[in-house]
Amino acid sequence: MKILLVSPVKDISRKTVDMVRFPMISPFYIAAATPEEHEITVVEEETGILDYNTDCDLVAITCMTATSSRAYTIAGEFKKRGKTVVMGGIHPTVLPDEAKLHCDCVVTGEAEPVWAALLKDFENGALKEFYHGGAGENLDILPRRDLMTPGVLGIEPIVTSRGCPYSCEFCSVWKFFGRRIRHVSIENVIKDIKNSKSKRFMFLDDNIVGDPVYAKALFLALKELKIEWVGQASISFAKNEELLNLARDSGCKGLFFGVESVSEEKIKRMGKSMKSQQATIDAIKRIMSSGIMFHASLVFGFDDDDASVFDETLEFLYKTKIPSATFNILTPYPGTDIYEKLKAENRLITENWDFYDHCTVTYHPKNMTVDELYRGYQYTKKTFYSFGRILNRFPANFRTPLIFAIANIGIKKSLKEENSFIKESLAKLHLLIDQQKGIETV
């Protein structure tokens, strides 16, 4: 049997392959879980071209909310050609009935536990409409790296764990992977790294130090491989000096941290490990003084935010000299607590998933207008990535100049294109808002 695995882009006309592409790995785990007698083809739209006339028996599409509209279009094109289509991923997991409208079969949760049974059912003409993979125990399936397209600068994606014990109001990861952290054996992590033939990696774990005991053993093993890597971690990582030094010595060059907000009130309400702005500043200094580049992720548009949050954020970033940052507009993804809250309060502007992309306002903010949130978001990003600000925060230890350059130049390059996209989206949203007002006044 010939199987086509597809990972769609959000917008086929706006690929990011020429910038810093966030690597996908899930299709290659599905390929690895496929019995050897089947022939597998993987198409990542970021790097490849999808041919709807491909000779295949079964099409499997994975998608997030941001790529769901494109995924539904792809599914429709294949169904027109008489192909059987399976859909899975975070969006079909939280909205399986919606996904089912566009395909023959929906897999919720992790697909690996049910994939072989699904294929057998398909061969026997008994494919079910829904399969629930849940959160599987066995994470020791190695991805099919022979099918992967090399990442930018040879950076390969890798996973050592799944699951998150936190339930942040704007995140639905725990609904897909579960609350308990599960691990790939360190032996298989090392084997996967060696199979890749690369020396640069991006760990896709939601929190690479979520289990300190496992992280310590992992970092000690990585040290022997002489690799370079980046990943994601909780800012509480700064409290464990031994683990911090082990990460650096294992080849860690930079980490992505979900700072979310610099507002004192918001920090306290979120109930995270850092209880104040000063505690956050101290943690950032400890991490950067260890030689690990700190990349912050910040979110604008919480109910605590007003128009002062943008200058407050810039002042915080200037004071801490954080090397790079990702700025996001709060996006109430389906399956999250914030989505349910805003929907119940009748504050959603649209449930057209094309707009759910971290840089589009999809709801009515509490203490700002839609336009104020847009302008503040653009102003902060443009100011932070001005050449003067970039030079001001250049890393003094010169340990991470390549990572620094990739993050800053890559994001700065995207600003012009994003601003044009945002302008177009804003016009569409104002039309939707006017339509809503028209309905309310009838």
Over residues 113-136, the pLDDT tens digits come to 999 999 999 999 999 999 998 877
Residue 441 pLDDT exceeds 60: no
- Which range of residues forms the domain containing residue 192? 150-427
Whether residues 114 and 166 share a domain: the answer is no
Confidence of residue 172 (pLDDT cuts 50, 70, 90): confident
- Model pLDDT, residue 275: 57
Whether residues 106 and 33 share a domain: the answer is yes
- Model pLDDT, residue 260: 75
Quick check: is 432 in a domain? no
Quick check: is 51 in a domain? yes
Whether residues 102 and 182 share a domain: the answer is no
Residue 221 pLDDT exceeds 70: yes
Domain tally, the chain: 2
Contact 40, 31 (CB under 8 A): yes
Quick check: is 385 in a domain? yes
Over residues 354-374, the pLDDT tens digits come to 999 888 999 999 999 999 999
Whether residues 219 and 361 share a domain: the answer is yes
Quick check: is 139 in a domain? no
User: Which of 14-28, 194-208, 340-354 shows the lowest mean pLDDT across its residues?
Assistant: 14-28
Residue 305 pLDDT exceeds 90: yes
- Model pLDDT, residue 414: 75
Over residues 331-353, the pLDDT tens digits come to 999 989 999 999 999 999 999 99
Whether residues 213 and 361 share a domain: the answer is yes
| CA–CA separation, 37 and 441 (whole Å) | 62
Whether residues 116 and 248 share a domain: the answer is no
Q: Select the more confidently predicted residue: 22 or 164.
A: 164
Burial readout 112-126 (b: 16 or more C-beta within 10 A, e: otherwise): bbbbeebbeebeeee
pTM given for the model: 0.89
Quick check: is 368 in a domain? yes
Q: Report the CATH number that the domain containing residue 214 is assigned in CATH.
A: 3.80.30.20
Whether residues 337 and 250 share a domain: the answer is yes
Residue where a domain terminates, one of 109, 134, 159? 134
Quick check: is 440 in a domain? no
Whether residues 187 and 283 share a domain: the answer is yes
Whether residues 289 and 172 share a domain: the answer is yes
User: What's the number of CA atoms in the CB half-sphere (13 Å) around residue 106?
Assistant: 21
Q: Select the more confidently predicted residue: 303 or 176.
A: 303
Whether residues 88 and 165 share a domain: the answer is no
Whether residues 62 and 32 share a domain: the answer is yes
Pairing between strand 228-233 and 293-300? unpaired
